C-alpha cells in the first residue's frame, strides 16, 4: 500500500517500522489538525460572505424540519454571532455530502468558536486544540449568554486543560454564575429542591460508608478543590495511598480541623448569661467549657499558659503562674486563667 507524506513523497506502508513509522504517525496527526482547521476556515468564510439581510432570510434551526417552519426560529449561532443566509446550510451540506442537520451543527459551532470563544479559537488555529474538543465547548456553551461563554472560555484557557471533565466543570460553574435559573428547570435532573447531604453506613464493607452531596455547583466545586488540595498535601507528606483513598481520608482531616477551630472558639468566648437570673456561671464555667479548660495544654515555662485547673472550694480556683526560675500556685479570689 502506497501513501504520500507531507512533502508529497510516496512510501510503502508495509516497509515502515521504528522511528520512521512514528514520524509518519505524528505527521498524520498534524495533517488531520490542518485539515480540520482548513475546513473550519472555509465554513466561516462561507458564512460571513453570505449574511442574512433585507430580502434574505436568516438560517434557523427549524429550517427544513417538518412542522417546525416558523415555530423554531433560533438562529444558528449563539448570542453575539452574525446572521447567516438560509441557503448557506444547503450549500454546505451539498458540498461536504453531509445531512442538513449535520451542516447546521457544523456551521453553528464554527460561528460560536469564532465569535464567542476567542481563546479556544486561537488555540485551535495554533493546532493546539483538536476540532472535536473545540466543537464540544461550542455546543456546551451555545445556549448561554455571550458573557457566560467568554467567562468559561477564559477559565479553560487559564487552566490549560480542555478535557471532557474540565469543559463540563467550567460550563457548570459558568451556568451557576450567570444563569442559575437554568439549574432549576424541570428537566428530570436534580435541582435546588434536591439539595442534601446524606451518609449511608449500610452500602459498604465494614468500616466503609458512602457520602452523597447534591448542592450548588460553586459550593461543591470549592469543596471538591479543598478535598483535592488536602489529598495532595497528604501525598507530599508521605501518604502512599491512592489519590482516591487520600481524598476520602481528607474528609476526616477537614472535619478534625473544623472541630479544632470550634474548640478554640469555645475557649475564646465569654461565659453565657443565664436567661432567667441574668448572671454568668461560676469560674469553672458551664460543663462543656469546663471540660475544654481542664484539657488545655501547658506550653513552655516562662510564657502565659492555660493549664489544667485544680478545683478550689467555694468561688476560689487555683491560678498557675510561671516564672523563669520558679513555679508557684496562689489562691486568688479572681476567677479566670493565669496571664
Strands 10-12 and 2-4: antiparallel
One domain, residues 171 and 204: no
Which residue has better confidence, 7 or 145? 145
Q: What is the pLDDT of residues 46-75, one digit of tens each?
A: 999 999 999 998 998 876 554 444 445 788
Look up the domain containing 255 and give its range: 196-267
Mean pLDDT, all residues of the chain: 78
| pLDDT on residue 5 | 61
Is the four-CA dihedral 50, 52, 56, 59 of positive or negative sign? positive
Same structural domain, 154 and 206: no
Which three three-digit cell numbers place residue 336?
A: 479566670
Per the domain annotation, does 294 fall within a domain? no
DSSP single-letter state for residue 311: -
Radius of gyration of the chain from its Cα atoms, rounded to whole angstroms: 33
**Are both 10 and 154 inside the same structural domain?**
yes
DSSP 120-169: HHHHHHTT-S-HHHHHHHHHHHTTS-HHHHHHHHHHHHHHT---HHHHHH
- The answer to whether residue 89 is domain-embedded is yes
Of 206, 238, 267, the last residue of a domain is: 267
Same-domain status, 105 and 205: no
**17 is a domain residue:** yes
pLDDT band at 248 (very low <50, low <70, confident <90, very high): very high
Angle CA(318)–CA(311)–CA(264) in degrees, nearest 5? 80
Of 324 and 243, the one with more pLDDT: 243
> Does one domain contain both 80 and 209?
no
Do residue 74 and residue 149 come from a single domain?
yes
Q: What is the pLDDT of residue 318?
A: 38
Note the pLDDT of residue 26: 77
Statement to judge: residues 79 and 176 lie in one domain: yes
Q: Is residue 279 part of a domain?
A: no
**Residue 67 domain flag:** yes
Residue 224: pLDDT above 80? yes
The neighbouring-strand residues paired with 320 are 329
- Domain check: are 100 and 77 in the same one? yes
**Phi, psi angle pair for 196, to nearest 5°:** -175, 160
Q: What is the pLDDT of residue 145?
A: 96
Residue 314 lies in a domain: no
Q: How many domains does the chain have?
A: 2
Rounded Cα distance, 302 and 324, in Å = 5
Q: Give the CA-trace dihedral at 163, 164, 165, 171, to 10 degrees.
A: 110
pLDDT at 199 over 60: yes
Q: 0.75 exceeded by the pTM? A: no
Confidence of residue 281 (pLDDT cuts 50, 70, 90): low
Judgement on whether residues 236 and 180 belong to the same structural domain of the protein? no
In a domain, 29, yes or no: yes
pLDDT at 52: 93
**Residue 273's pLDDT band (boundaries 50, 70, 90)?**
low
Q: Determine, yes or no, domain membership for 130.
A: yes
Q: Which of 216, 237, 267 is the last residue of a domain?
A: 267
pLDDT at 29: 83
Give residue for cell 444563569: 179
pLDDT at 93 over 90: yes
Residues 254 and 160 in one domain: no
**Domain termination site, one of 135, 153, 184:** 184
Shared-domain flag, residues 10 and 135? yes
* Residue 184 pLDDT level (bands cut at 50, 70, 90): low
92, 103 Cβ separation under 8 angstroms: yes
Q: 327 pLDDT exceeds 70?
A: no
Same domain, 119 and 263: no
Amino acid at each position: 500500500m502506497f501513501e504520500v507524506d507531507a512533502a508529497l513523497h510516496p512510501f510503502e506502508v508495509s516497509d515502515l517500522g521504528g522511528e520512521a513509522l512514528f514520524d509518519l504517525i505524528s505527521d498524520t496527526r498534524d495533517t488531520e489538525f490542518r485539515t480540520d482547521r482548513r475546513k473550519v476556515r472555509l465554513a466561516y468564510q462561507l458564512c460571513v460572505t453570505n449574511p442574512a439581510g433585507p430580502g434574505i432570510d436568516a438560517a434557523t434551526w427549524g429550517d427544513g424540519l417538518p412542522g417546525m417552519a416558523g415555530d423554531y426560529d433560533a438562529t444558528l449561532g449563539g448570542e453575539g454571532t452574525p446572521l447567516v443566509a438560509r441557503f448557506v446550510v444547503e450549500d454546505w451540506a451539498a458540498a461536504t455530502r453531509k445531512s442538513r442537520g449535520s451542516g447546521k451543527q457544523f456551521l453553528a459551532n464554527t460561528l460560536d468558536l469564532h465569535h464567542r470563544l476567542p481563546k479556544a479559537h486561537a488555540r485551535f488555529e495554533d493546532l493546539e486544540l483538536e476540532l472535536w474538543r473545540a466543537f464540544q465547548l461550542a455546543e456546551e456553551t451555545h445556549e448561554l449568554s455571550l458573557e457566560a461563554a467568554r467567562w468559561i472560555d477564559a477559565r479553560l484557557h487559564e487552566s490549560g486543560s480542555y478535557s471532557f471533565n474540565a469543559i463540563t466543570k467550567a460550563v457548570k460553574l459558568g451556568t451557576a454564575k450567570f444563569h442559575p435559573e437554568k439549574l432549576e428547570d424541570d428537566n428530570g435532573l436534580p435541582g435546588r429542591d434536591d439539595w442534601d447531604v446524606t451518609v449511608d453506613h449500610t452500602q459498604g464493607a465494614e468500616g466503609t460508608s458512602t457520602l452523597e452531596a447534591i448542592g450548588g455547583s460553586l459550593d461543591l466545586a470549592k469543596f471538591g478543590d479543598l478535598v483535592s488540595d488536602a489529598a495532595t498535601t497528604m501525598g507530599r507528606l508521605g501518604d502512599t495511598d491512592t489519590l482516591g483513598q487520600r481524598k476520602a481520608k481528607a474528609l476526616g482531616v477537614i472535619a478534625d480541623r473544623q472541630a479544632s477551630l470550634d474548640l478554640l472558639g469555645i475557649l475564646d468566648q465569654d461565659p453565657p448569661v443565664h436567661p432567667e437570673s441574668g448572671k454568668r456561671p461560676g469560674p469553672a464555667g458551664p460543663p462543656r467549657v469546663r471540660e475544654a479548660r481542664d484539657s488545655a495544654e501547658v506550653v513552655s515555662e516562662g510564657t502565659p499558659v492555660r493549664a489544667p485547673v485544680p478545683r478550689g472550694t467555694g468561688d476560689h480556683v487555683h491560678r498557675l503562674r510561671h516564672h523563669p526560675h520558679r513555679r508557684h500556685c496562689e489562691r486568688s479570689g479572681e476567677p479566670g486563667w493565669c496571664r
